[in-house]
Chain A
């Protein structure tokens, strides 16, 4: 390969007059970026050219599709707590980011995406590979900005990182025209941004609301906590645990909040929502005070709103004022970062336990174990289930792995049954429900948490949406473990067709390639498991294998995920069968 020599770091540091592209790379370094996911192209070539000199400082992961790049950025951000950075070129490169932007927006994932754009004088002329990415991405970014002059780059980049990670995090897109990338300018010191006059990342905490909330909690007979990803995003796991343990209140989680409290904590009563646990769903309509912490009452959590927790007084803690009263009316709103508000609340609440109330959850749990969980995790005969794959994995990893699930039945099984001992261990597309998310997100998660075992749990439909990222695994030598639970169907759609469309299985029967051969083609080891007796050894082999490994497990075709809150029903109408 013919390559030009790189410039020395000393020479690079000394330069005062630099190109816009060099300013981008310098800015990223000053913001502490060590990994970028991306795909080069004509309109972002100058940035890639500048990156060439900094390859020893910034690890660039060449993905196989921009969608893979942004999902990898999401996985990186979710696993590490840092900002994910993604490069893409103009036009089709930029538009391929849109799904990931929408996903990151709804799941509050901090990202900075940098897209190349055609020359500024060509804007609006339908130039080659021109797309109005600023307009297209406006509804799915927390902020976006188009740079047409190199001198704007340092401030725009600093602002982008500040907006992406502060307050309620989210994705930001900076679109840089090619002339701005090439333009020479005198670049000053990088000044990190910590204030924007029209932007209030955190609302002011109102002490009187904290007092009102504490009074409600102290007088409650049947209080119930629902927590979401706000606890993780606020790095408030410790504060949350202290609140829960002092108050003695049973707590249930949304899938975005999973892992903030260990799965086996005595006050962790399970998962909320459409495929959540029986007890927390039913008892939502029985509690007297509902304390929502860093969660947004998604429709998948609430079911029918007009029948949701009507008997309860609601305390809602959230950093985003627009979430308060959006879906469920709050009796007491507690605006603020829960890392700051929870200790204030914990101080004012009385130390209590609620044994009788907690026992109610346990009774429902016993019913669910008997009617659903036992058969799902420990089937006595017949074909393998997704649940038993997860159960075996739990036993082998002891809940220490990062589980990256896709969307559909595999996601619900993974979220319901994965044992999670640590925070930032459950990575999935919660709000947008993006099939194809898991494989690239797992790549990113491994870069974000290189010391942890990363296991992808994906269906035969989802894997085929972004299967090209096996190429990224091959080239970057990423140690991710891939479990394809293959039921030969688009399982969740089939389940709905069975339950609500009289088994009219319209286009859900999906054929798969020979995944082991596909993996082999990419230099990835793998094995297909068709018999239960080989499942545990297959999982063991996967986990101990050095490097990436693909394990395909053939599971029963028409298994359903239960419990389930049918569409249009209240959470207390959740079905066990």
Chain B
């Protein structure tokens, strides 16, 4: 199947500031899935302000579609603000972990040098395997996979992308002012889940 718009598609980083509410991830994910769009990368984490969470979403799309998506996300009641940026407009990183056999690493100095060249560092060293980590752009972390593959790469994992917007000025200040003006309420989770044995029910 061909897509006439493919030349206009590129990676966009969507940044979403939200309340910390049960079910919101589902609501946001639905906005993509109902359009049959895949999310390339999704990271959610607390922001620097307690109670305000930050989503970093990466998708490969045209700007027109991304603009419409961000408006739909911002429509959700618990969403505070949404931004979208191209890769050029953000500083972004992904972390990768590589598990390789320790005996190979020990025996082959070449591997050690390659790891140094790629900015990797050892996280765990065991008799049977060693885990290295590196951070960087996709092509950098991909490159190390290619290098390590011939030396018996056992396992590889990569994190979701995190990104900081180059152009935003004092968003931390805005967030803090916002929180000061309108403090958020605490998120309510189900505290009864572990009480099954103690509660009688019909």
Contact = CB atoms under 8 A, between A and B. Distances in A.
Interface of A: 42, 119-125, 134-135, 138-139, 142-144, 146, 148-149, 152, 163, 177-179, 196-199, 320-322, 325-326
Nearest to B178: A197
Contacts of A320: 75
Given A178-B201, A179-B199, A322-B72, A143 B77 contact: yes
A320 B72 CA distance: 10
A304 B176 CA distance: 47
Given A139-B34, A196-B77, 12 more contacts: A119-B201, A120-B193, A121-B201, A134-B23, A138-B27, A138-B30, A142-B77, A148-B190, A199-B77, A322-B71, A322-B74, A322-B75
A148 B23 contact: no
A87 to B, nearest CB: 19
Nearest to A118: B201
Contacts of A163: 77
Interface string B64-78: 000110011011011
B189 to A, nearest CB: 8
A344 to B, nearest CB: 23
A386 B68 CA distance: 41
Q: State the main secondary structure of chain A at its contact with B.
A: mixed
Given A121-B199, A143-B77, A179-B199, A138 B23 contact: yes
B195 interface: yes
Q: For the side of the interface on B, what is the size category? A: 20 to 34
A146 B201 contact: no
Contacts, number: 75
Nearest to B197: A121
Contact of B188 (A42, A124, A149): A149
16 contacts: A119-B199, A121-B199, A122-B196, A123-B190, A135-B23, A148-B188, A148-B191, A149-B188, A197-B182, A198-B19, A198-B80, A199-B78, A321-B71, A322-B74, A325-B67, A325-B68
A119 to B, nearest CB: 5
A429 B194 CA distance: 44
Nearest to A196: B77
B26 interface: yes
Contacts of A124: 193
Nearest to B34: A139
B182 A119 contact: no
Contact of A197 (B72, B184, B192, B196): B184
A415 B77 CA distance: 33
Nearest to A123: B190
Identify which of A121, A139, A148, A320 gathers the most chain B CB atoms within 10 Å of its CB. A121
A486 B86 CA distance: 57
Contacts of B77: 142-143, 163, 196, 198-199
Contact of B22 (A42, A142, A146, A325): A146
Given A198-B18, A325-B68, A119 B192 contact: yes
B201 to A, nearest CB: 5
Identify which of B19, B23, B191 gathers the most chain A CB atoms within 10 Å of its CB. B23
Contact of B192 (A121, A143, A321): A121
Given A139-B30, A321-B71, A120 B192 contact: yes
B29 to A, nearest CB: 9
Nearest to A182: B201
B79 interface: yes
Nearest to B188: A152
A148 B192 contact: yes
B23 A144 contact: yes
Contacts of A326: 68, 71
Nearest to A320: B75
A181 to B, nearest CB: 12
A138 B26 contact: yes
A326 B202 CA distance: 49
Interface in B158-172: none
